[in-house]
Structure 1
Amino acid sequence: MLRFAANLGFLYQDLPFLDRFSAAARDGFAAVECLFPYDVPAADLRARADAAGVEVVLINAPPGDWASGERGLASLAGREADFRDSIERGLDYASRVGSPRLHVLAGVLPPDVSRDAALARYEAGLRWAAEQGARAGVTLMIEPINPHDMPGYLLQRQEEAHAIVDRIGATHLRVQMDLYHCARVEGDVVVQVRRWLPTGRVAHCQIAGVPGRHEPDVGSLDWRGALAAIDEIAAATGWDGWIGCEYRPRRGDVAGGTSDGLVWMRGLSSKD
């Protein structure tokens, strides 16, 4: 059975952040995910989630200096201490708000830095972080991100992410499979879902239309085929992850725009 989570960094842009929890609940979401909620006290976020009756199923670890172009610290030379601080802060926040998953961004590869060296730092950082996640009871997620949206991002392909998780072999390190990013880099998402979801390494999915990153039914993404494959595999394997709606609604800054755009989800026979 498909389970959808509202990404509150993308949806309901017409509302203040904390008001988005109840808006998501009114639209039938049982769960939410957040990007970087650290400006909001964890107790306040947890209170809004509890009041709305929604689970917080994913947040991102602090990414470094976003304004200056940092997109994660895990692979950056000389930033090891900052990376560890970001993981500790992220795990503490995740534990306080009840999120069982924490997405760890890899970072952008500088043009003059060896990719092999960056990957070695990335894996070393993830090994340490996965140990901390196990102690906190929080699963760390790594996500391939397409180079159109995030030029130079270190991790771009599903195969590479799965190989890293397999090499590290930690129970609290898994792959976050974003169908939008996957489609932009690797093409047919139905093929990719059928290849990777049964491995047991994917603990969370996300969806958006291609190429505009709007509602899934806008553009070329075979969203019906991909969701049908996820539903079929989940029934066969017991996969119980969430599908995060991480897209920019076409009318998201207009009152009711996000809700109006959810017609694609309401039309599914299994949507919760």
Structure 2
Amino acid sequence: MPRFAANLSMMYTEHDFLDRFAAASADGFDAIEYLFPYDHEPTELRRRLDEHGLRQVLFNAPPGDWESGERGIASLPGREAEFRSGIDRALAYAVALGCGQVHVMAGLRPADATPAQLAEHRATYLDNLTWAAQRAAAVDIDVLIEPINGRDMPGYFLHRQAEAHAIVQEVGAPNLKVQLDLYHCQIVEGDLTTTLRRDLPTGRVAHLQIAGVPDRHEPDQGELDIRYLFDVVDELGFEGWIGCEYRPRSGTSEGLGWLKNYGQLKSHGRLKNNRGERA
């Protein structure tokens, strides 16, 4: 059965950040993820995890100047020293928090980039990922890359699943893997069932994320049949976590009916049809 992690950057924002650990645990989550841990000491974050019986399953490496609009620096030529320093900082946090995965953001393409410039950015990206994966392997941590849709993040360097898998294969590091966000994938290319059935068996997908499309609210709101997709994930034997990276419409706890309903479905079998028979 799929395992779900609350994303504390988007969920439980009605609470201060450090209080979101308790709120997620109270709602039954066993694991959490979030964007960045760096505003807090790792000892304090670890205390919250331990106090509330939670597992940290993902966070992002430093992304450059987030407040000024940077969205990662892994593909930016000339920023290699900053990138390496950020990876070392992220890995120190990951070890302290017992977190086995760190997402490395690629960054934004230059506006009106020439083919030669794009080739330079891709070469930088590959070199940086190779270095990061080697560094992370020494502490048994996976490095993840994620395609992100251009509507939410215009100009992001990586936006298609095939591109991400090609990069992972080209680097060839066993601990470099793909983070498949079904929200982003649906917006960019759709065909989610085929994508899941094609990519999950490769072993290159380490983490899934979900949200409703198109508004990024609860995953059962919008155009996705999320129960069906969960069953596909279950059928394929995916053993990783599914991060709930969505913005609740009105109160996080009040919007968790989708998760409770799915748990009931898995416990009691498929829904009955209108004749009371198993569908």
User: TM-score band (shorter)?
Assistant: over 0.9
**SS at the partner of 2:248?**
coil
TM-score normalised by length of structure 1: 0.94
2:247 match: 248
Say which of 149, 172, 196 aligns to 1:146: 149
2:257 paired with 1:263 = yes
* Long gaps (5+) in structure 1: 252-256
Q: Give the Cα separation in 2 of the matches to 1:261 and 1:142.
A: 29
CA distance in 1, matches of 2:228, 2:189: 16
Alignment of 1:183 with 2:186, yes or no, is yes
Inter-partner Cα distance in structure 2 for 1:248 and 1:203: 23
Q: Larger radius of gyration, structure 1 or 2?
A: 2
1:14 partnered with 2:10: no
The amino acid of 2:2's aligned partner reads L
Structure 2: distance between partners of 1:228 and 1:41? 38
Tell me the equivalent position of 2:209.
Answer: 206
Give the Cα separation in 1 of the matches to 2:179 and 2:124.
20
* Residue 112 of structure 1, CA deviation: 4.5
TM-fit CA distance, 1:222? 2.6
Residues 22 and 270 of structure 1, relative CA distance in 2, 3 Å threshold: farther
Structure 2 residue runs of 5 or longer lacking an equivalent are 268-279
Where 1:130 maps in the other structure, the secondary structure is helix
Q: Whole-Å Cα distance in 2 between the matches of residues 191 and 174 of structure 1?
A: 19
Amino acid at match of 2:51: A
Q: Which moved more, 1:191-200 or 1:126-135?
A: 191-200
1: distance between equivalents of 2:97 and 2:190?
36
2:232 maps to which of 225, 229, 233: 229
Shift of 1:4: 0.1
* Residue identity matched to 2:10: F
Q: AA paired with 1:265?
A: L
Task: Number of aligned residue pairs: give it.
Answer: 262
What amino acid sits opposite 2:261 in the alignment? G
- Structure 2 residue matching 1:243: 3-state secondary structure: strand
Cα RMSD, aligned residues only:
1.1
Aligned partner of 2:274 in structure 1 is none
Partner in structure 2 of residue 118 of structure 1: 121
CA shift, 1:188, in A, is: 2.2
**What is the Cα deviation at residue 155 of structure 1?**
0.4
**Match of 2:199?**
196
Any runs of at least 4 consecutive aligned residues in structure 1 with deviations exceeding 4 A, and if so which?
none
* Greater length-normalized contact order (CA 8 Å, ≥ 6 residues apart): 1
Q: 2 CA distance for matches of 1:250 and 1:130?
A: 37
Secondary structure of the corresponding residue to residue 123 of structure 2: helix
Cα deviations by residue, 1:135-185 (Å, 9 ceiling, x for unpaired):
121100000000000000000000110111111111111000000000000
